[in-house]
Amino acid sequence: MLLHGTVIMRLSNTPLSLLRPLLQSSSRSLLHRSCLSTLSANQGTASCRRLSTDGSTPRPEIGQDSVNVSGQSYPRDDFTNVTPKILDKVGRNLHNQSHHPLWLIKERIKAHFYSSYVGRLGNPLFSVHDNLSPVVTVEQNFDSLLIPPGHPSRKRGDNYYLNRKTMLRAHTSAHQRELVKSGLDAFLLAGDVYRRDEIDTSHYPVFHQMEGVRLFSNHELFSKVRNGEDLSLFERGGRRTPEKQETHTLEAVKLVEFDLKQTLTRLVTHLFGEDLEVRWVDCYFPFTHPSFEMEVRFQGDWMEVLGCGVMEQELLNSAGAENKLGWAFGLGLERLAMVLYSIPDIRLFWSQDERFLKQFRVQDIHQPICFQPLSKYPPLINDISFWLPENSESFTENDFYDMVRSIGGDLVEKVSLVDEFIHPKGFIREGWRKRDERSRVTERCVSETACFSVGALTMSLIERDNNMLSFCSALDSIRPAVPKLASQIP
């Protein structure tokens, strides 16, 4: 099989009649309140640790026997796959850097929730948590969210593991159970998340999520419903249907679903404008049921902006909230910022170029901004070809993408498969399978001509990780640079 990868770099429901009076009621009065940024100090799980902002925490590093992150040391094992390039992003916290575009989006969402949802005493209903460490346990990231052991999302090829028990969170939902367990019933959570992914202008191995959770007691949900005292959140002997979980009453689920959709519709119209067209699509998540995705009509096309649903009761029971029912949602800050500010390339969020950053220093976080490109330089394109070992079942495309990112950094705009080839005789030599993969690398820098050397990538493929990539060569312009290696290519 020939793997061809191209790397391109560029900067540039109908409610029940019983519930109708509530569903048609007007929203509550709106007030403002301040933010709660962290959990109490006695929370014991690793993910509750705050990241230091005083500069005293040592830089993350990968040693021979351990990985050091946020002042903690984690022993390496056969599952360790985090790279230095990824660890360098830990602690950057773009969503907390004043006037960064991701900070602007986060602040706009916070401001909306603070002003729109208040408690009985006039305080903000939702607390905000935006400084929790991205280092979590595998149990937090998967088991706490009811993701089964064999689920594809657990694959080593899709996540960054420090070892078999610890990883960089793949979603902010990894903190959901611990926050509910601490006694919170309405909160927003923002943070950086890490996933091994393809390389293009809309995907990056580190991005930022913001999610919300709201729980309801029996009184809170039914207090405004006629004869609400006769209704209940739960039922015995129920069954799971596409509309509800086995323990929930249909009346309760319909109310929670309505509140969820109304809340999120208000949020996106606040961000995109009152004339926004919205639609809901049924979907599946292991930790919610029923589950939905929201799509909005933007520039003539439907664009998915978030996922949400009624939280699985088993999750709430495990967090000590067995007498409540709730909803949760999650959205990507980069996607919203790219649309709202016309930012064409996800790599730009990591730019420290003053010409980029100064465009977002505005006095009013709601002020419209249209990003002005920094570079008009053309891309540089090169092809790379390499053979894989006979025992290459463990190789994934994400392994190659990580290697490209480790060498080319943010100069690489895209990597895509060009073609595949398996030699009919099967082997080049003993122990090597005649499986050739070629990748096209296109580079373009946000602010200057690209300087990434495909030759350097080629030699690194030869020298690195014998279990994944060996005996390789770059095509065309690279072939003259490594004549001894090139002479072995049929």
Greater confidence (428 vs 415) lies with: 415
Task: Tell me what pLDDT residue 30 has.
Answer: 33
Q: State how far the Cα of 262 lies from the Cα of 308, in Å rounded to an integer.
A: 12
pLDDT band at 425 (very low <50, low <70, confident <90, very high): low
Q: How far apart, in Å, are the Cα atoms of 152 and each of 61, 142, 148, 216? A: 28, 11, 9, 32
pLDDT value, residue 463: 53
Confidence (pLDDT) at 396: 75
Of the ranges 34-38, 44-48, 109-113, 155-159, the best mean pLDDT one: 109-113
- The larger pLDDT score, comparing residue 229 to residue 242, is at 242
**354 with 389: CB under 8 angstroms?**
no
Other CB atoms within 10 A of residue 431 CB: 10
> Using one digit for the tens of pLDDT, what is the confidence trace for 270-328?
998 888 889 999 999 999 999 999 998 877 888 889 999 999 999 999 999 999 999 99
Whether the CA torsion 205, 187, 307, 300 is positive or negative: it is negative
The beta-strand segments (E) located in 28-113 are 61-62, 66-69, 72-75
Q: How confident is the model at residue 121 (pLDDT cuts 50, 70, 90)?
A: confident
> CB 60: neighbour CB atoms within 10 A?
20
Least confident of 50-64, 196-210, 371-385, 391-405: 50-64
Of the given ranges (103-117, 307-321, 472-486), which has the lowest mean pLDDT?
Answer: 472-486
pLDDT at 440 over 80: no
Is the bond leading into 379 cis (omega within 30 degrees of zero)? no
Whether 468 shows a pLDDT value over 50: the answer reads no
Record the pTM: 0.75
Q: Which residues contact 391 (CB under 8 A, 6 or more apart)?
A: none
Highest mean pLDDT among 199-203, 419-423, 457-461: 199-203
